Amino acid sequence: MESRIVKNQLVFRFNEPSRTPRQTTRTGGELKDGVYHARRPHRKSRNGCLNCKKRRVKCDETKPKCQKCETYGVCCSYSVTAIQPRDETSRTAPLCHMAANTQIPPLSKQFSMSVADLADRIDRVLRMDTCTEEALQMMPMTSTRHRTVEYLHHFITMTAHASSMSDAHRLVMSGRMMQLAFQYPYLMHAVFGVAGTHLRQLLPYDKSYAIAAGIHWQRAIKLYRREISKPIDEHNMDPLMSTCMLLSTITFSTEECKPAESWIFSSDPTKLSWLLGQSGLRYILEAISIDQLQRSIWFEAFQESDDENHTFNNNSPGPEGLHPGLAELCEIDEMTTEDSNPYHWPLRMLSPMLPLKADRDNFAKLIPFIGRLEPAYTKLLQEKDPRALLILSYWLGKMCEEKQWWIYPRVSSECFAICMYLEHNEDPRILDLLQYPAEKCGFVFDYVLKEIITQENDDNLTSLSIL
């Protein structure tokens, strides 16, 4: 080992037998050792694009495409956490941390594939649908293979864990459901549709996610309709139920939902499709037997929708256990049943939900409400019946408690719209009962605004009189 002092620093070098010693230089007829220059301190940037990292070249970090990728002729893509806005990063960081620490059983399809092999397997399942390749060519991206792997990874690590689902639901979605996705194109398209929709919200300036999400949703819906027209049994019940639940997110998720544009202020019946389209899962469950359902990958998760006392699946007559104010408003007495009164069944489902906290432990008990509504009640909603609207607003208000990306914009906006519609109802009981949903969605009544304005004017007059 050689060592010497250079600028008050001890510099040393190990002599390697297989390496030729550094040549000395001759200056002015004398031999002189080469000067060693220590590397200057520097900070490495880790915000470069994925392709530059893979090629081990310095990225100029230009967005949306860096110059190196532009010159090299490849698709430039940044990691999600590196390019999302600061406030969005801080909001989703806990979700990423939670996903990374969730104990998911290692599946061969998730962990033992190389990225290239994974992309090939995704391509093969998508090509089972003959129209997919033509549809994917519409996407404005150089490499659709890279995006499909990105969507799959994003769904497993973020989307499935950010939806307030219970552990049982999340384990199925990230595990056995993904195995089925490699066999059924409509389920894989639905998975990519959810991932693309979530990425569209995280990265609104990248329009390619919105286009890709739309294409995958379109293919998922078309193939799902074709499959559900066939006999349903234990061979296709799980991919159909999985796809149905994923498709329900698109009816809720929306980039922007304004109360003034709600169905309640429109005569267009399709504006209520986000609610009326939630009964698909019930159709599948009614088509299979109890024995078949017990063999489903979702059976354990479905058990969380009720408790040991069957509190959330109780159709007993009368007002016992119902919200007192709503039961009185809906004229429910001891003899009332779900057949004699269309408000009884939705109120029977709703009442035990109200004391619950809207979190992942109770998600499976809260979300089935809209999928189990009977036609007699939904007809009243379409007719804008005040009592039916009030019951719905209570469920919407409850769901506002947990601000989930795919459901909160819809439920908060629709709850706000119902409050606007019912605020001037002549029945004082309705105005009194409207306090709960108004508080949950942030609606402020006109009389409250007038009181605030009057109080501010009085305060201003008092201040002027003092002066």
Distance, CA of 444 to CA of 446 (rounded, Å): 7
Domain 46-78 CATH assignment equals 4.10.240.10:
yes
Q: What is the C-alpha to C-alpha distance for residues 217 and 224, in angstroms, rounded to an integer?
A: 10
pTM: 0.72
pLDDT tens digits for 283-298? 999 999 999 999 999 9
Q: Is 460 helix (H, G, I), strand (E, B) or coil?
A: helix
345: which residues sit within 8 A by CB, 6+ positions away? 315, 338, 374, 377
Q: How far is CA 230 from CA 15, 23, 237, 287, 440, in A?
A: 75, 80, 11, 11, 42
Distance CA 191, CA 154 (A): 10
Is the pLDDT confidence value at 402 over 90? no
When pLDDT is averaged across residues 34-45 and rounded to a whole number, the result is 61
> Both tokens of residue 71?
């010159």
Per the DSSP assignment, residues forming a β-bridge with 6 are 9
Tokens 């659709």, located at residue:
144
**Per-residue pLDDT, 157:** 81
Per-domain residue ranges for the chain? 2-32, 46-78, 79-253
Instruction: Give tens-digit pLDDT for 374-386.
Output: 999 999 999 999 9
pLDDT digits (tens, 9 = 90+) for 442-464: 999 887 777 777 766 656 666 65
Tens of pLDDT, residue by residue over 184-218, are 999 999 999 999 998 998 888 888 899 999 999 99
Taking only the tens place, the pLDDT of each residue in 157-174 is 876 565 567 888 888 988
Alpha carbons 139 and 135: distance in angstroms, whole number = 8
Q: Is 329 or 94 the better-scoring residue by pLDDT? A: 329
- For residues 215 and 132, give the distance between their C-alpha atoms in angstroms, rounded to a whole number: 9
pLDDT tens string 236-252: 999 999 999 999 888 88
Q: What does the alpha-carbon distance between residue 311 and residue 305 come to, in Å, rounded to a whole number?
A: 10
Rounded to the nearest integer, the mean pLDDT of the chain is 80
CB 150 within 8 A of CB 181: no
* CA–CA dist 238, 244 (Å, integer): 10
Per-residue model confidence as pLDDT tens digits over 337-352: 999 999 999 999 999 9
Residue by residue, DSSP assigns 401-428 as TS--TTTHHHHHHHHHHHHHHHTT-S-H
Among 450, 405, 415, 453, residue whose Cα is nearest residue 435: 415
